[in-house]
Structure 1
Amino acid sequence: MIVIKVLLIIIAVLLFGLMIFIHEFGHFFTAKLCGIRVNEFSIGMGPTLFHFQRGETKYALRLLPIGGFCAMEGENGDSDDERSFYKKSVWKRMLVVVMGAVMNIVLGLVLMMILLSQESAFNSTTVAAFAKNSAFQAAGLKEGDTFVSVDHYRIYGDRDLSFALATANPSSVDIVVQRDGKEVTLNDVKLNTQTIDGKTIVSLDFYVEPIEKNFGTLLTKTVQDTVSVVRLVWYSLISLITGKFGFNDMAGPVGAADAVGQVITSGLKESFLAGLNNVIYVMMLFTVNLGIFNLIPFPALDGGKLFLFIVEAIRRKPIQEKYVAVVETVGFALLMCLMLIVTYSDILRLVTGKGLGG
């Protein structure tokens, strides 16, 4: 059992490395295609463990597995090389910046397909039957109804439905369904709940119609479920900003490692395959999160650079380098502060059971 758990942890670490690699490779191969000189392509941060030179580029593996980088000539705007980053058109720079996040989401698609390919059929959002004493049925939901929205959260697939119901107020939920070609609204629906490990969760006391599995539905479901995860990440970020989710709902590297350990332990209670699938699922969430988070228009993130390039494209002239440097330096400092606070909260949660948010 211990050997199997260690093996799954090694797989998780390798998948985490793949997640970093695929992000930096997105920047790397796009830069090469755009004719930009890449000085170093590195996986990991800190002291160099291993490196080799191939042509103009140094390839390195570094000690700390917490990130990576693709060092392009003139990224800081201080190069006269015609192949430097800032010598290229703003459209090429935008493409290079955004491709890291795009590759993370592509990896999410691949991992999602691996998980879904093991299913015998897929879940729809159309009600097929109800459990005994169903709160949904008592509220007016009928067989054949297809969910349209839950508390104004649009439902496109079963993952959207599960997430919307899990985050809704169970004492009052507004549900819109499609019935006989018309939209029907069920207001203030009260749902059945149960308490597990001190947490109150909604009981899904209805069943949905299956979707036959074939190559076409597998592709459709893969894209649909990955888009659902992207929407979930954006919704969660907005909820953190607006206060719906608290600081305690955030997790950093320590919290992520703890989550991986928990899903491995949980899955191994069933089988090795269940543990492996749990690891793949968590890594799918992580890579999509990384992709979306990097597109946030915040200084020091890819999204911050993208925003500046969009401004440059609109103005048709670059922003002065001194202003860009100040913004990125301040942004990086704030990002590091946030990372330290979140990591401290993770450690506090492991020790006391509660993070900084209570």
Structure 2
Amino acid sequence: MNIIIAILIFSVLIIIHELGHFLLAKSNGIFVTEFSIGMGPRILSMVKTTKGYRLRAFMSPGDFAAANRELEATIYSIKLLPIGGSCMMLGEDESVEDERAFNKKGVWGRISVVLAGPIFNFVLALVLALVIVGMRGYDPAKVTNVTSQAKEAGLQNGDVITQINGKHINLARELDLYLFFNPLNEADVELTYERGGEKHNVTINPEYVKDYKLGFYYDDGNGTIVKEVMDSYPMKEAGLQKGDIITEINGTVVETKDDIVDYFKQNPMTEKAIEIVYKRDGTVNTASVTPKLAGEGYTIGFGIDGSRVKTNGIGVIKYSLAEVKYVIVYTVDSLKMLFTGKVKANDLAGPVGIVDMIGNIYKDSAPSGFVTIFLSLASFSLLLSANLGIMNLLPIPALDGGRLVFLLIEVFRGRPVDQNKEGIVHMIGFIALMILMVFVMFNDLNRIF
């Protein structure tokens, strides 16, 4: 099932991309020789004849050339491999003496044709965002679990962060992304937050803290039943099990999950052992549990809720644009980390890895029903579509961005670069991309198997 879903998603993304090239080519009077879905041998083609359009199965390159010789109508094809697609234009890679040829059109017309593919991917991402935000709402950066310096600065649970160090925040994920790429240190943090329709500005000095954990989850509801104990964490090592009922912590009686939360808010964990009293099968037991250091770093004293809330029509448009912006910024910042060595090439995911991700998304969302499956896959498709748009704009030969580089050189030079030389550069770029694809696919297979 995950392979079928992946093929459908890839097909839609690529068809939209190539449709952008196709429509702008047509609007600029450029003759499109073939519009195809997939790669490899043609399995079905629609060809214009003297009697109108006819379907042709398994056209050979020779048959294709013969059918295309008169250049009267575009051939529409479906190819064997359900990945990729193409919009082949007359005079795209060679000089052709025909007024309908790509190479005969003005430079700005050609730039619009090349740009159309990535732009259509961004448009698709926006359409998906409108659907997602319209159905699920958006995730404001709502403050929760206010402690220490944030409380002293005046923040309260329910405040919504709108700026951090001058950067506008529309979504909780934007704040998470900012803090991921700009880790907190001893420098002050400037925050703007909204409460009751009014905006407030505060300055918070981050505090260096150590994060200790016991390693267990609560049961559903508000009881003190242990739902799960984590491997390699103190609770399991101390002998506690799923189903145990916690009754006391360091002599303090706890009857609800909120009691446990409140206790640790007032008595933050350290490396000091904690005495836990619990019941198992009616028997009272006591365990000494020493919290485990799970992380350390700077904090500004609050968490973010991140749950989605519904919004009105204008809000749907505003926060859909914010969704697309978030994905674009995330992709660009991730590429920066890749090029600066902060992210390793081994972390890249290719088609095999993406298919595996789609399978996991489907598996995780299936128990919640069709709507959850649809929205989860739509969110991932939004990410893929924006990624495809950005990747194609990179100044890499054989990609749209590589073609744009040569077109911009033409704008500044006043004349085009020799097409043979440009073709050689694109061929080298294509070979390099194929080598990279093999490398990424090998990494995918290594991770999965």
TM range (shorter): 0.7 to 0.9
Q: For residue 255 of structure 2, what is the aligned residue in structure 1?
A: none
User: Secondary structure of 1:124's partner?
Assistant: coil
Alignment of 1:184 onto 2:213 = no
Q: For residue 20 of structure 2, what is the aligned residue in structure 1?
A: 26
8 A Cα contact 1:171 1:190, kept in partner? no
Identity, in percent, stands at 32
Alignment of 1:51 onto 2:45 = yes
8 A Cα contact 1:174 1:189, kept in partner? no
Query: Which whole-Å CA distance do the structure 1 matches of 2:76 and 2:27 have between them?
Result: 18
Alignment of 1:117 onto 2:131 = no
| Structure ranking higher in helix proportion | 1
Which residue of the other structure, out of 205, 221, 226, is the alignment partner of 2:303? Answer: 205
Query: Which whole-Å CA distance do the structure 1 matches of 2:98 and 2:7 have between them?
Result: 38
User: Secondary structure of 1:348's partner?
Assistant: helix
Amino acid at match of 1:105: F
TM-score normalised by length of structure 2? 0.68
Q: For residue 84 of structure 2, what is the aligned residue in structure 1?
A: 67
Q: For residue 100 of structure 1, what is the aligned residue in structure 2?
A: 117
**1:227–1:217 CA distance, 2 compared to 1 (3 A):** same
8 A Cα contact 2:7 2:83, kept in partner? no
Query: Which whole-Å CA distance do the structure 1 matches of 2:231 and 2:339 have between them?
Result: 27
Larger Rg: 2
**1:208–1:264 CA distance, 2 compared to 1 (3 A):** closer
1:78, distance to aligned residue in structure 2 (A) = 2.8
**1:210–1:258 CA distance, 2 compared to 1 (3 A):** closer
Q: For residue 3 of structure 1, what is the aligned residue in structure 2?
A: none
Query: Which whole-Å CA distance do the structure 1 matches of 2:331 and 2:40 have between them?
Result: 29
- Greater shift after overlay, 320-329 or 42-51? 320-329
1:229, distance to aligned residue in structure 2 (A) = 0.6
Q: How does 1:1-358 map to 2 (within 5 A)?
A: 6=1, 10-54=4-48, 56-119=73-136, 121-125=137-141, 127=143, 130-131=144-145, 134=147, 137=150, 142-143=155-156, 144=159, 146-149=161-164, 155-166=169-180, 169=183, 175-178=189-192, 182=201, 184=203, 186-187=205-206, 190=209, 205-207=303-305, 213-351=311-449
Q: What per-residue deviation string (whole Å, max 9, x for no partner) do you get for residues 159-218 of structure 1?
A: 311333455657879743126654635446658698999998999734479876111000
Kindly tell me the number of residue pairs found equivalent between the two proteins.
340
TM-score normalised by length of structure 1? 0.84
RMSD in angstroms over aligned alpha carbons? Answer: 3.2
Query: Which whole-Å CA distance do the structure 1 matches of 2:82 and 2:418 have between them?
Result: 34
Query: Which whole-Å CA distance do the structure 1 matches of 2:338 and 2:398 have between them?
Result: 20
**1:282–1:207 CA distance, 2 compared to 1 (3 A):** closer
Q: For residue 354 of structure 1, what is the aligned residue in structure 2?
A: none
Amino acid at match of 1:291: G
User: Secondary structure of 1:65's partner?
Assistant: strand
